[in-house]
Amino acid sequence: MGSLELREGHAAAKPAFDRAVAHVPKLAALLAALEAEQAAATRDLRAFEAIDPAGLAAQYPEEKAPYVEMQLGVLRTWQTTLVGDGFNRSKLDYWREECADLELRVD
């Protein structure tokens, strides 16, 4: 009787499993787009930082910047998670590896 109940349980769970696992490739596509946007934002952020506005502001404290530099902090929030820090792999890289190890389709 136990084996029959198990098979029935598997049969009942299979549609819910299929619906849940169908989200993996959708998430992969969304994360890839977010990763690309974060990489572009990081490049632009680095270009801004290369100008050294903090150093310029220290030299000319009477001049107020036409922007609020702290607003750029939100661009750093997901940087290491999505694109890594240049030394360590990103969490997104680990997620993709886990999907591959589990033989999950991400495309």
Q: Check if the beta carbon of residue 93 is closer than 8 Å to that of residue 84.
A: yes
Dihedral class, residue 54 (left if φ above 0, else alpha if ψ from -120 to 50, else beta): alpha
pLDDT of res. 1: 56
Q: Where are the domains of the chain?
A: 24-101
Question: Which of helix, strand or coil describes residue 98?
Answer: helix
Q: Is-above-0.85 flag for pTM?
A: no
**For 59-107, what is each residue's pLDDT tens digit?**
888 888 888 888 999 988 888 888 888 788 889 999 999 999 999 988 8
Residue 58 has pLDDT above 60, yes or no: yes
Report the amino acid identity of residue 90.
S
pLDDT tens, position by position, 3-41: 888 899 999 999 999 999 999 999 999 999 999 999 999
